[in-house]
Amino acid sequence: MFFFDLSYILWVMVPGLLIGLWAQARVKAAYAEAEQFVSRAGYSGAELADRILRGAGIADVEIEPTQGFLTDHYHPMLKALRLSEAHFHGRSLAAVGIAAHEAGHAIQHAQGYLPLQLRSALVPVCQVGQWIGQAAMMLGLVLWFTGVGQTVLLIAILGYAAVFAFTLVTLPVEFDASRRALAVLGERGYLAADELPVVRRVLSAAALTYVANAVQVLLVLLYLVSQYQRRNG
């Protein structure tokens, strides 16, 4: 049965867990460092995001506080840039760096950045694919010898392939938003030269979480393909 498949534990669960823990540790360390320093320019995250958006000629995006920790995001459909309470009001390098990153997403949207458009289009596909993939994977491996397991497992492969496509498209979106954030923070003098490396470490560490997620999904996908080939060979 699936839950007792030793190869899944060795080649998917353990590496995926280690990669995820490593990425989270990097984020935690970089964030803790950036939280220790208050931006010398004195802007809060919300104030800085507003300045960046207005500097880019964007006046129709609402900047809103949201509950939770590191729940910051930009919602393209609603044109809402949402910052966690600590970053909305906070003036630390972590707060302004994350606010600038989310403003980068809003600028991507305003400029019609293709990878962001693709990611938005893939959101429902990813959600359905993940649900179908998880359900089909378990059913396919448990019911393999019933005669329908092969088809169900193939459906699981297609579902996880859709999820993996979404994670791949997400990478350039996140890296580009960070690039835009660092550029505007430096070029417009919102951060001093010695403050930029601290923010860069936060954004680079955050990007690693998306890389780790892509690798985790890929491990599952490769495992499913190997199981399908082994049982179909």
Number of structural domains in the chain: 1
Query: Which region among 18-27, 125-134, 202-211 has the lowest average model confidence (pLDDT)?
Result: 125-134
> Please, what sign has the CA dihedral across residues 126, 131, 132, 138?
positive
Residues annotated catalytic, as ranges = 102
Q: Write down the pLDDT at residue 4.
A: 46
Is pLDDT at 132 greater than 90 in this prediction? no
Q: Write down the pLDDT at residue 183.
A: 97
Query: b/e string for 212-221 if b means 16 or more Cβ within 10 A?
Result: bbbbbbbbbb
Is pLDDT at 3 greater than 60 in this prediction? no
Q: Which is nearest to 201 in space by CA: 36, 69, 74?
A: 36
The answer to whether the beta carbons of residues 133 and 156 sit under 8 Å apart is: yes
Q: Using alpha carbons only, how large is the chain's radius of gyration in Å?
A: 21
Q: Which is nearest to 104 in space by CA: 165, 185, 44, 41?
A: 185
Domain of 52 in residue numbering reads as 2-232
The answer to whether the beta carbons of residues 180 and 104 sit under 8 Å apart is: yes
Q: Is 155 exposed, middle or buried (0-12, 13-18, 19+ CB in 10 A)?
A: middle
Q: Mean pLDDT throughout 177-205?
A: 97
Tokens 């606010």, residue? 99
Contacts of 54 (CB under 8 A, 6+ apart): none
Is pLDDT at 148 greater than 70 in this prediction? no
Q: Mean pLDDT throughout 179-194?
A: 96
Q: Which two tokens mark 104?
A: 């980068």
